[in-house]
Amino acid sequence: MWRPTNVDRPTGVFIGLIIVSLVLVTVDLRASGAGLGGTLREGAQAVFTPIQRVVSSGARPVVDFFEDLSDIFSLRGENRRLRTEVIELERSLDEARGLELRIAELEAILGLEPPEELDSVVAQVLAVGVSEFDHSRVIDRGRADGITVDMPVVDEGGLIGRIIATTDEVARVRLITDPSIRVAVRIERTGETGVLTGRGSSPMVLEMFNTDAAVVEGDTLITADGRFPAGIPVGRVLEPARSEVGFSLRTTAEPTAQTTRIDLVRVLVFTRDQVGIQDLEELERPPIVIPSEEEPAEGESEEGLPTETSIPTGEGEGQGVTGGADEQGGEGGGGGG
Amino acid sequence: MNTALKYRRVAVTILSIIAAVALQTTLFVRLRPFDAAPALVILVVIGLARHLPSELALLTGFSAGLLEDLLSQSPLGLWALTLTTVAYFVVRVRDRMEEDFSLLAPFVFALTLGAITLFAVLGTIFGEKTLADAGFVRKILVPSIYNLALAGAVLPFFTWALGARAASSPYQT
């Protein structure tokens, strides 16, 4: 018969530590990553940042050496491709300059104010997540540089992710490839909207709302209005979309940004506009009451017979391209910062 | 075990864990062949747990895991649970391993594979989307292969650094 005295000491300690771990997990999940867990995380990151800076600066030459070594074989082809690209870009630049002048003239005629450019903070990636399943990066700029949670992060290719946690000195970026991230996107060519979902290191999944709209290989996806500023390149469609049980078009896309070799990034000083914030706030409120079109019955006030309608959560049904469309599926719990 | 050796082991343990976590998070920012990196912290826990007294080995696994949890977005305690389990497995089988690398190498590979799988499964149970990662198989296989390759250098280092050969009985509990 089993008795507690049958358990040897290492096994007893092991069981005790497992119980402590499970309690920690439960408490942290209950607090949604905030509370004591959040404070401890921020403290640990603040203490560990100087160590990471030292190791990172020491490791950088080694990493550069190996990276150069791996690049050396592809240099000739890369050089040829870049020369062609320079010629095309110079031509595009000339056209853009002409268009800029023309737009400025038209704005002057119509008395319009030119749109303000977003400010940005340049940062360098300091650290990666501790495991292969941690799709986040730590950058060397934090609250002291004006970075706050939810700001979008881009590189020369396009959108990389968004800020999910900050300390005074560093910030954590969740990459768009994280399975819990969903980005509201628009196809640049057609203007059709959909949602892009990360799948780790595999191509992302694109779901289009309009089942009749053609999606072809090579289509560029840009952010739609919402959590991120509109118009940032996000991905490129890898294969033509196919209809999935008649509800949505589904295909795969790859990020336009180099998410596996991120080094320098720009944090856009952008917070959701008022409309987006209102949308998100309303998600937590009781359902909106929309008056029925039917005539009120006799004896009832005109405010009677309400029809309750829930705002789409963006998680499952009808994700409109508003602030709520960029839902972060699993971020509420431990995944959230 | 004399006092100097005890202090040496504690110092080596603390410094190794900090160094492993620092290297894991900084060295592999861009250096990621096949889009994966070795699981250094798991390897270091295996290396340490082979020579530390049982309770200290388990606490080492727990502490290393907790540090990883604090520096990541996974629920606090998830890595702690995983690495405590790794340390426990090592404590249970270490006296059959000795220094025979032909036995140690497959053991390191299997333990790394098991640890990452355990983390992924527990993560999914606790609301993370680890198993939703389409590259799941590659993400557990490639780091295990890297650990297998690194084990030949890392494990003998800890045998030397912890003074395991000098101690009368490195496996005393």
B interface test, pick of A132, A140, A172, A176 with most B CB neighbours within 10 Å: A132
The length of chain B, given as a count of residues: 173
> What is the reported pTM?
0.74
Cβ distance B135 to A200 less than 8 Å, yes or no, reads yes
Token representation of residue A100: 């800029």
A46, part of any domain: yes
Nearest to A130 among B62, B72, B123 (CB): B72
User: In terms of residue numbers, what domain contains A108?
Assistant: 14-115
The C-alpha of A294 sits at a distance from chain B's nearest C-alpha, in angstroms, of 44
Report the relative pairing of strands A288-291 and A248-255 from DSSP bridges: unpaired
- The answer to whether residue A117 scores a pLDDT higher than 80 is no
Nearest to B72 among A10, A17, A129 (CB): A129
pLDDT band at residue B89 under the 50/70/90 scheme: very high
Cβ distance B133 to A201 less than 8 Å, yes or no, reads yes
Quick: pLDDT tens for A71-100: 777 777 778 888 888 888 988 898 888 888
**What average pLDDT score do residues A252-264 get?**
84
Domain count, chain A: 1
Contact (Cβ atoms closer than 8 angstroms) between residue B154 and residue B47 = yes
What does the H/E/C string look like for A128-143? ECCCCCCCEEEECCCH
More confident residue, A294 or A4: A4
pLDDT at A119: 82
A4, part of any domain: no
Quick: pLDDT tens for B140-154: 999 999 999 998 888
A263, part of any domain: no
A129, part of any domain: no
Q: Is A35 left (phi over 0), alpha (psi -120 to 50) or beta?
A: left
Q: What is the Cα A151 distance to its own chain's centre?
A: 9
More confident residue, B135 or B7: B7
A258, part of any domain: no
A107, part of any domain: yes
Token representation of residue A294: 């039917």
Strand pairing partners for A183? A196
pLDDT band at residue B41 under the 50/70/90 scheme: very high
Strand pairing partners for A233? A222
pLDDT band at residue A290 under the 50/70/90 scheme: very low
Residue of chain B nearest A61, judged by CA positions: B27
Cβ distance B27 to A63 less than 8 Å, yes or no, reads yes
A293, part of any domain: no
A220, part of any domain: no
Residues of A in contact with B36 (CB under 8 A): 132
